[in-house]
């Protein structure tokens, strides 16, 4: 499944599963580091999905807890893959 995220496995990072995202923007608004953004691309369901800017994530998971879609965001942290 296509994903939007970083390949970096040492620093924490959010993985946004593009096809699960409905483009509501809650994660973008909620992220305290402002490292999420609109991709400006449309997924197969017609939503402009969110994406990670590829740096700056602290792994706080606030985006995860603000997302209404159960499978749209995964937070990856070192040792917790």
Map tokens 């992220």 to a residue.
Answer: 31
Instruction: Decide if residue 21 touches ligand SF4 (CB under 6 A).
Output: yes
Query: In the set 5, 27, 39, 51, which binds ligand SF4 (CB under 6 A)?
Result: 27
C-alpha–C-alpha distance, residues 8 and 14, integer Å: 10
Residue matched to tokens 């917790």: 80
For position 22 contacting ligand SF4 by CB under 6 A, the verdict is yes
In the block, tokens 């994530």 appear at 57
The residue ranges that bind ligand SF4 (CB under 6 A) are 14, 16, 21-27, 31, 33, 35-36, 49-50, 57-63, 66-67, 69, 72-73, 75
């Amino acid at each position: 499944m296509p994903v939007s995220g970083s390949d970096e496995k040492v620093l924490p990072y959010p993985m946004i599963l593009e096809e699960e995202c409905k483009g509501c923007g809650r994660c973008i608004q909620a992220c305290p580091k402002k490292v999420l953004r609109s991709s400006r691309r449309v997924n197969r369901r017609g939503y402009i999905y969110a994406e990670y800017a590829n740096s700056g994530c602290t792994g706080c998971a606030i985006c995860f807890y603000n997302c209404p879609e159960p499978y749209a965001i995964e937070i990856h942290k070192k040792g917790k893959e």
